[in-house]
Amino acid sequence: MNTQKNDLDPLFKPKSMAVVGVPRDGYRFGGLSFLKKLQTAGFPGALYPINPKATEILGMKAYPDLPSLPEVPDLAMVSVGAGRVPDVLQSCGEIGLKHIHILTSGFNEIGTNEGRELDDRIRTISEEYGLMVVGPNCMGPYCPSSHLTAWGAIPGKNGTLGIISQSGGITQRLTEYTCSVNIGVAKAVSFGNGTVLGDIDFLQYMGEDDNVGVIAMYLESVRDGNAFLRAAGEVNLKKPVILWKGGESEAGARTAASHTGALAGGRGAWEAFFRQTGVTRVSSMNEWVDAITAFTWLAPPSGIGVFLIGGGGGNSVSYSDTCVREGLSVPQLSEDTMAVLRGSVPSAGSIAGNPLDHFRIFQDAHYLAELLDLAYKDPAIAMIVVDRLIPRMAFHLPDAPDSNPAVIQFLKGRKDGKPTVFTVDSEGGDPVLIQQGAELRARFREQEIPAFPSLDRAARALRHLVAYGRRLRLRIED
Amino acid sequence: MNTQKNDLDPLFKPKSMAVVGVPRDGYRFGGLSFLKKLQTAGFPGALYPINPKATEILGMKAYPDLPSLPEVPDLAMVSVGAGRVPDVLQSCGEIGLKHIHILTSGFNEIGTNEGRELDDRIRTISEEYGLMVVGPNCMGPYCPSSHLTAWGAIPGKNGTLGIISQSGGITQRLTEYTCSVNIGVAKAVSFGNGTVLGDIDFLQYMGEDDNVGVIAMYLESVRDGNAFLRAAGEVNLKKPVILWKGGESEAGARTAASHTGALAGGRGAWEAFFRQTGVTRVSSMNEWVDAITAFTWLAPPSGIGVFLIGGGGGNSVSYSDTCVREGLSVPQLSEDTMAVLRGSVPSAGSIAGNPLDHFRIFQDAHYLAELLDLAYKDPAIAMIVVDRLIPRMAFHLPDAPDSNPAVIQFLKGRKDGKPTVFTVDSEGGDPVLIQQGAELRARFREQEIPAFPSLDRAARALRHLVAYGRRLRLRIED
């Protein structure tokens, strides 16, 4: 469908909402639970529960039907049984209520004739009235800045991430995950069957939205592979698109098909898609959020050279290997840098160069700052990874004050520096060390400094960022 | 060198020890810190500090030299300056003290003529007296059951893991890591330059040791590639050898060369090594311990079919993809199993089959036990992965008692069942959820049930275990 910029705004920033299909009480998932959550979230607009058998629900006036409403709301959330949905859509169309989210399942995705016919009726009624319909069979729109948070992280966190997904569960978890690592969401939509509005519509909408800086997508299938490829390639040049394609395997695709009823596409087709569009590909929740974090807080590095700075944990060799496996390099430092370093690094027990791994780095924030300044000037270096230790017996560390606050202060003042990330690896199963690691990473993230639980994950995220930067530069040079 | 079985026992189970080169006090790393830690660890045998300028150190009688000792100790730890080490070795040889650990650095690995000459003298003196020397430039032997724990996890944990490593830092961290995930160490050795005793000696020794069930190795280089390949291939058929080859990349190798002064070998040579020997290859600390855990607590699965059981977290599609990427399969269940399942799984909102993802599994331990029993009988299934949730808002879980204790009880009584592992993924940066996840994994591990923080890591460990089992079966069929 051909949507204009801002056509979809009322889906995410409605000033008023009708909820069609709200029982008076009970615990079933659906209209009532959504209404409760909207109340909790502090949705500031008018909420209109629709239930012919009630006059009041959750302290709000209830209405018997849509025509009886005092105004035409911006958005309707529909939670009635599948067989009744077409009539509700008709009613929406008749009163000029164009933006609709259908939560209900039991359409295309269940694979019955009846389900498919109901799906078709949604399409035809929407075409007739020019309805903008999300779903059916989905959690719908989510937007912290407008308090439209009936699911996912509540109240959530406003930010610049756009999310487009075919899986409600994954979207919910992504909003919680990103919130917990200080990444805010501009808009999210779980669009289910995509009968009217689908992947391309939301992709182009978010591509045009200046509030969205990075777009995360989770798809198990697309309706029109060629059109999607074109749209994704275009949007990816405006802002990074990070796509998790679920159902790569036959087993995964078999399960995915039971979710949405659509075809998944062969592996070769998807490999070609990623190659041609330059869209970033991820395969797990961790990889997804790591990439989102890197793309949100860092500019793409100008090259592949990593400066590995450790606090004496002994990771030099393995960290070098990991970087190189990810297509990065761990180059020798320039002569100017080496000249300065040789004067400052004792020769016994540590080695001046790249990687640089010394306890002094962990304990002396001023020294680390000097090293970072050197790296920011060194033409061989495009990005820096700093390994922070969680003090434990094996490191034989003498007691020393916590140098991390000073390190964070320094970096706050050097946002102009080259992309710099931290690894804080608790290494092991000890819940105390694990929590300490989590708390330290949270402190870095509070200041929008990426912090990863392992070098494997940091290097993977940097690889994605480097590849995206390279794709942009290729395009500019065309 | 050609060692006989038990020749090396005094290195790990000494009844008495001399420590040569112990200052009276101070904080420098070396003889004194080792002695202190041995005291802390409760080393039960006689300890003899050697220092011509002291009569007492740490409350123990100090001796001026080795000949003055009242007995010939089983083991000497040597921490004098490099230039004095050959004379100390000579003295050991003269009193019949054959087992020696040289902590001191400044030999082959620093790349000077003087260093190389000192290294050569170590070799010639050892040949002359038949000395069993570990090092130089290393942390040496480590053995919790004999309280020989002067470094690493103290007091550590006795068990069946053997560790052979060229890096002291990595070995220390591995002993702590494995201890924290309830894996015990039989013997560990960090052997540094390997001038006398090297990789093959320790590999064969641990290969013959009935207390060692799994051997973990970290190597950056080997002296005799062909001989090592032969030895590793043989030992790997007796018990799994899990090798982390550090310095795969040029950058890593450059750093590694500065550690031990030896050649690292080309990538092609190492790929051939792993292919021919079937030794398990890992590339990070996490992957290493995950594999060690799987090999220690599980028998190799009889095939590649995984049954994925989830608690309703919505991971079915992505978990299937991950398993298949790791060379496992997620097969359809047998008809018998499906017949039983269809009766017990509600059709709306969940799907009977493989993967099986339903909240009831998370909340009802009895139901999970039934599913496991079905899987143990299903010929399509070789192993099971159970995804446990950390309750959080996104899952909309109604309150229910903790079902994990009953699940653990069931598994304790079914050690005859097919290999079964758990994933507990906190997903995100929230330190509270992360700690809860860590604590739940610890509860599974207390009962020797593998529990991983992500499906990626669980699937990788299972892949290694499957490959090893296949290698053993191929050999049997020869």
Q: How far is CA B475 from CA B162, B208, B304, B400, B466, in A?
A: 23, 19, 18, 50, 14
Rounded Cα–Cα distance for residues A87 and A376 (Å) = 63
For the structural domain made of B9-134, what CATH number should be given? 3.40.50.720
Question: Is a pLDDT exceeding 90 seen at residue B227?
Answer: yes
Q: What is the pLDDT of residue A397?
A: 67
Q: What is the pLDDT of residue B29?
A: 78
- Cβ distance B320 to A249 less than 8 Å, yes or no, reads yes
Q: Which of A284, A349, A438 sits opposite B322 (nearest CB)?
A: A284
A379 token code pair: 């033409």
Q: Which of A154, A252, A428 sits opposite B321 (nearest CB)?
A: A252
- The two beta strands, A185-190 and A140-142, are antiparallel
| % of chain B exceeding 70 in pLDDT | 93
- A446 in contact with B, Cβ within 8 Å: no
Q: What is the pLDDT of residue A190?
A: 97
- Which residues have C-beta within 8 Å of that of residue A220, sequence separation ≥ 6? A166, A167, A245, A246, A247, A253, A256, A257, A259, A260, A262, A264, B317
Q: Which of A29, A169, A393 sits opposite B154 (nearest CB)?
A: A393
From A211's Cα to the closest Cα of chain B, the distance in A is: 24
Q: Count CA atoms closer than 13 A to B452's CA, side-chain side.
A: 25
B76 token code pair: 């000497």
- Cβ distance B438 to A441 less than 8 Å, yes or no, reads no
- B227 in contact with A, Cβ within 8 Å: no
Q: What is the pLDDT of residues A172-209, one digit of tens each?
A: 999 999 999 999 999 999 999 999 999 999 999 999 99
For the structural domain made of B306-477, what CATH number should be given? 3.40.50.261
- Cβ distance B433 to A318 less than 8 Å, yes or no, reads no
Residue of B nearest to A452 (CA): B429
- Cβ distance A321 to B283 less than 8 Å, yes or no, reads yes
Which of chain A's residues have a Cβ under 8 Å away from the Cβ of B107?
none
Confidence of residue B349 (pLDDT cuts 50, 70, 90): very low
Rounded Cα–Cα distance for residues A278 and A237 (Å) = 9
From A3's Cα to the closest Cα of chain B, the distance in A is: 31
- Cβ distance A435 to B434 less than 8 Å, yes or no, reads yes
**DSSP per-residue codes, B193-245:** T-SSS-HHHHHHHHHH-TT--EEEEEES--S-HHHHHHHHHHHHHHS-EEEEE
Q: Which of A177, A323, A351 sits opposite B258 (nearest CB)?
A: A351
Range list of β-strands (E), B21-105? 46-50, 56-57, 60-61, 75-78, 99-102
Confidence of residue B72 (pLDDT cuts 50, 70, 90): very high
Question: Is a pLDDT exceeding 60 seen at residue B449?
Answer: yes
Q: Which of A71-75, A281-285, B6-10 has the lowest mean pLDDT?
A: B6-10
In whole angstroms, what separates CA B364 from the centre of its chain? 35
| % of chain B exceeding 90 in pLDDT | 77
Confidence of residue A357 (pLDDT cuts 50, 70, 90): confident
From A63's Cα to the closest Cα of chain B, the distance in A is: 28
Q: Exposed, middle or buried, B369 (CB in 10 Å: 0-12/13-18/19+)?
A: middle
| Token pair 């970290």 in the structure block, residue | B218
**DSSP per-residue codes, A82-145:** GGGHHHHHHHHHHHT--EEEE----SGGG--HHHHHHHHHHHHHHHHHT-EEE-SSS-EEEBGG
Question: Is a pLDDT exceeding 60 seen at residue B345?
Answer: yes
- Cβ distance A284 to B454 less than 8 Å, yes or no, reads yes
Rounded Cα–Cα distance for residues A308 and A75 (Å) = 51
Question: Is a pLDDT exceeding 50 seen at residue A349?
Answer: no
In whole angstroms, what separates CA B239 from the centre of its chain? 13
Q: Count CA atoms closer than 13 A to A330's CA, side-chain side.
A: 28
B294 token code pair: 């799987």
Rounded Cα–Cα distance for residues A376 and A357 (Å) = 18
| % of chain A exceeding 70 in pLDDT | 93
Tell me the β-bridge partners of A76: A18, A100
Q: What is the pLDDT of residue B6?
A: 65
- Cβ distance A173 to B427 less than 8 Å, yes or no, reads yes
In whole angstroms, what separates CA B36 from the centre of its chain? 26
- DSSP symbol at A248: -
Instruction: Name which of A32, A317, A389 to mutate to probe chain B: the one with the most chain B Cβ atoms within 10 A of its Cβ.
Output: A317
Average confidence (pLDDT) over B320-329? 95
Q: What is the pLDDT of residues B172-226, one digit of tens each?
A: 999 999 999 999 999 999 999 999 999 999 999 999 999 999 999 999 999 899 9
| % of chain A exceeding 90 in pLDDT | 77
Contact A317, A310 (CB under 8 A): no
Rounded Cα–Cα distance for residues A73 and B217 (Å) = 67
Residue of B nearest to A282 (CA): B318
Contact B214, B239 (CB under 8 A): yes
Q: What is the pLDDT of residue A259?
A: 56
Q: Which of B180, B284, B321 sits opposite A249 (nearest CB)?
A: B321
Confidence of residue B397 (pLDDT cuts 50, 70, 90): low
- A447 in contact with B, Cβ within 8 Å: no
Which of chain B's residues have a Cβ under 8 Å away from the Cβ of A27?
398
Rounded Cα–Cα distance for residues B201 and B199 (Å) = 6
In whole angstroms, what separates CA B446 from the centre of its chain? 17
- DSSP symbol at A451: E
Confidence of residue A313 (pLDDT cuts 50, 70, 90): confident
A242: amino acid identity, one letter: I
Q: What is the pLDDT of residues B452-476, one digit of tens each?
A: 999 999 999 999 999 999 999 987 7
Q: What is the pLDDT of residue A474?
A: 85
Average pLDDT across chain B, whole number = 91
Rounded Cα–Cα distance for residues A444 and A440 (Å) = 7
Instruction: Name which of A37, A221, A318 to mutate to probe chain B: the one with the most chain B Cβ atoms within 10 A of its Cβ.
Output: A318
Q: Give residue limits of the domains in chain B.
A: 9-134, 140-297, 306-477
Average confidence (pLDDT) over B421-447? 94
- Cβ distance B251 to A331 less than 8 Å, yes or no, reads yes
Contact A450, A293 (CB under 8 A): yes
Contact A209, A195 (CB under 8 A): no
Question: Is a pLDDT exceeding 80 seen at residue B120?
Answer: yes
Query: B33-45 b/e with 16+ CB inside 10 Å = b?
Result: bbbebbeebebeb
Q: What is the pLDDT of residue B443?
A: 96
Q: What separation, in Å, do the N-terminal and C-terminal C-alpha atoms of chain B show? A: 31
Confidence of residue A356 (pLDDT cuts 50, 70, 90): very high
Contact B287, B458 (CB under 8 A): no
- The two beta strands, A46-50 and B56-57, are unpaired
A458 token code pair: 């940091």
B159: phi then psi, degrees, rounded to nearest 5: -170, -150
- Which residues have C-beta within 8 Å of that of residue A268, sequence separation ≥ 6? none
Which of chain B's residues have a Cβ under 8 Å away from the Cβ of A249?
320-321, 323-325, 330
Average pLDDT across chain A, whole number = 91
B176 token code pair: 């702590």
Q: What is the pLDDT of residues A427-472, one digit of tens each?
A: 899 999 999 999 999 999 999 999 999 999 999 999 999 999 999 9
Do B306-477 and B9-134 fall under one CATH topology? yes
Question: Is a pLDDT exceeding 60 seen at residue A97?
Answer: yes
Average confidence (pLDDT) over B329-354? 81
- Cβ distance A283 to B321 less than 8 Å, yes or no, reads yes
Rounded Cα–Cα distance for residues B411 and B420 (Å) = 9
- A431 in contact with B, Cβ within 8 Å: yes
Angle between helices B285-297 and B168-180 (to 10 degrees): 50
Q: Count CA atoms closer than 13 A to B202's CA, side-chain side.
A: 32
Average confidence (pLDDT) over A101-107? 95
Is the pTM higher than 0.90? The answer reads yes
Closest CA to A265 of A166, A128, A345: A166
Place domain B140-297 in its CATH homologous superfamily.
Succinyl-CoA synthetase domains (3.40.50.261)
